[in-house]
Amino acid sequence: VLAGTSAAFHASAAKPLVIGFSQVGAESEWRTANTVSIKDAAKKAGVNLKFADAQQRQENQVKAIRSFIAQRVDVIAFSPVVESGWDTVLREAKAAKIPVILTDRDVNVTDKSLYVTLIGSDFVEEGRRAGRWLVEHAKKNPGKVLNIVELQGTVGSAPAIDRKAGFEEVTKGNAQLKMLRTQTGEFTRAKGKEVMEAFLKAHGKNINVLYAHNDDMAIGAIQAIEEAGLKPGKDIVIVSIDGVKGAFEAMMQGKLNVTVECSPLLGPQLMQAAADVVAGKPVPKRIVTQEGVFPAEVAAKEFPNRKY
């Protein structure tokens, strides 16, 4: 009885860990799932989470981080909208001795001691996986040149930069694959649809392939393709990234050909890393998520297993 009492006493006396988290926004299905994962994991871990939504704007993230510093939270975590422009505010966090954990997206800083770790996917590899699928697809139509249009993610964001680079790395020099047009669709359905409409106006039936940096833009583009009287998934082959439920539904309807998985379920790893950092335990500089590739043929079988 005594031991139990004292354990309970210690548990209630222990201050809950306070984490300030600045989220990118609510631009996609991926992002919504990521937010749910982080909030759920915080609740389960008994963490006091201060959550701020930046609405896809870096200036809002800088403000949120400064306010977390002023509140003297235990750990600052954030998913940076864009890669560059973080040195000053991260130096402020370091001067205040508050550890910073990056989730999902990377920053471009010369002083790597400005953050503890980055938890998230390898976006270059995702781009390569998308490109490799297309290289294999092209082999099924030997001699045929495929004209590609690309919908990029948010300008200056790590996933947009890296998914473009990885895709280029494996498709460049392939005589069957020709990039016609590339433009940002800002990772949203609305913008994906709008930009695809413009692509279709300019190039119509000459477009053979759409490479979208996320599923939401692909889903928006699917609408544009249908409204133009063409068959998405057939007249235009569509390759995208994330693996959200909406993509699996589109694949089961034959409108999307493949999605490369990018898991948004980073909450539990974030809570673990934050607890470890505060406890003074070593944390690896990079924690990479394990992911796969899902072509339309396996969509129906995999759908019940999808968690986001």
The count of other CB atoms within 10 Å of the CB of residue 265 is 16
Q: How far is the CB of 244 from ligand GYE (least distance, A)?
A: 8
User: x/- string (CB under 6 A) for ligand GYE, residues 83-122?
Assistant: ---------------------xx-----------------
Q: How far is the CB of 245 from ligand GYE (least distance, A)?
A: 13
Residue (55 or 206) nearer to ligand GYE, CB: 55
Q: How far is the CB of 126 from ligand GYE (least distance, A)?
A: 8
Q: What is the pairing mode between strands 258-261 and 293-295?
A: antiparallel
219 binds ligand GYE (CB under 6 A): no
Segment near ligand GYE (CB under 6 A), from 26-34, 57-65, 141-149, 229-237?
A: 26-34
Q: How far is the CB of 37 from ligand GYE (least distance, A)?
A: 13
Q: Looking at residues 224 to 253 of the shown chain, list those that interact with ligand GYE (rule: CB under 6 A).
A: 241-242
Residues 6+ apart with CB under 8 A from 219: 189, 192, 246, 247, 250, 256
**DSSP annotation string for 153-171:** -STT-HHHHHHHHHHHHHH
User: x/- string (CB under 6 A) for ligand GYE, residues 151-190?
Assistant: --------x---------------------------x---
Q: Which residues of 227-249 are buried (b: 16+ CB within 10 A; e: fewer)?
A: ebeeebbeebbbbbbbbbebbbe
Residue 217's nearest CA partner among 8, 11, 30, 6 is 30
Q: How far is the CB of 125 from ligand GYE (least distance, A)?
A: 12
Q: What is the pairing mode between strands 286-288 and 117-120?
A: parallel
Q: Looking at residues 252 to 271 of the shown chain, list those that interact with ligand GYE (rule: CB under 6 A).
A: 262
Segment near ligand GYE (CB under 6 A), from 27-35, 193-201, 250-258, 291-299?
A: 27-35
From the number of C-beta atoms within 10 Å of its C-beta (0-12, 13-18, 19+), residue 210 rates as: buried
30 binds ligand GYE (CB under 6 A): yes
Distance CA 8, CA 103 (A): 33
DSSP code at position 73: -
Segment near ligand GYE (CB under 6 A), from 23-31, 94-102, 110-118, 297-305?
A: 23-31
Q: How far is the CB of 81 from ligand GYE (least distance, A)?
A: 9
- Partners of 210 in the β-ladder: 149, 238
User: x/- string (CB under 6 A) for ligand GYE, residues 33-72?
Assistant: ----------------------------------------
Residue (17 or 192) nearer to ligand GYE, CB: 192
150 binds ligand GYE (CB under 6 A): no
28 binds ligand GYE (CB under 6 A): yes
129 binds ligand GYE (CB under 6 A): no
Q: Which residue has the tokens 């975590």?
A: 77
Distance CA 96, CA 76 (A): 11
What are the angstrom distances between the C-alpha of 85 and each of 59, 80, 111, 128, 189? 10, 10, 13, 27, 27
Binding region for ligand GYE (CB under 6 A): 27-28, 30-31, 104-105, 159, 187, 214, 216, 241-242, 262
